């Protein structure tokens, strides 16, 4: 569920000024490594890659 919350925040324009580390903390991950590992396991790409791809698709 935390990764699902992160998916929303990464593509929400209201959080565009937040970096991935800040978003990972917002959804409850203690450190960047655990967030990246959980994100990649569930989504199949890095949080930065996901955000970049979705922002480009919205243009």
Mean of pLDDT values over 39-49? 96
Cα–Cα distance for residue pair 20/9, rounded to 1 Å: 9
Is the domain spanning 2-58 CATH 3.40.50.10490? The answer is: no
Task: Please state the pTM of the whole predicted model.
Answer: 0.86
d(Cα 17, Cα 34) in Å, to the nearest integer? Answer: 22
Q: How confident is the model at residue 55 (pLDDT cuts 50, 70, 90)?
A: confident
Q: Where are the domains of the chain?
A: 2-58
> Which pLDDT score is estimated for 59?
60
Q: Is 24 exposed, middle or buried (0-12, 13-18, 19+ CB in 10 A)?
A: buried
């Amino acid at each position: 569920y935390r990764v699902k919350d992160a998916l929303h925040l990464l593509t929400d324009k209201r959080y565009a000024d937040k970096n991935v580390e800040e978003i990972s903390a917002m959804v409850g991950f203690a450190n960047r490594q655990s967030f990246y590992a959980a994100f990649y396991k569930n989504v199949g790409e890095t949080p930065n890659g996901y955000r970049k791809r979705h922002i480009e698709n919205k243009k």
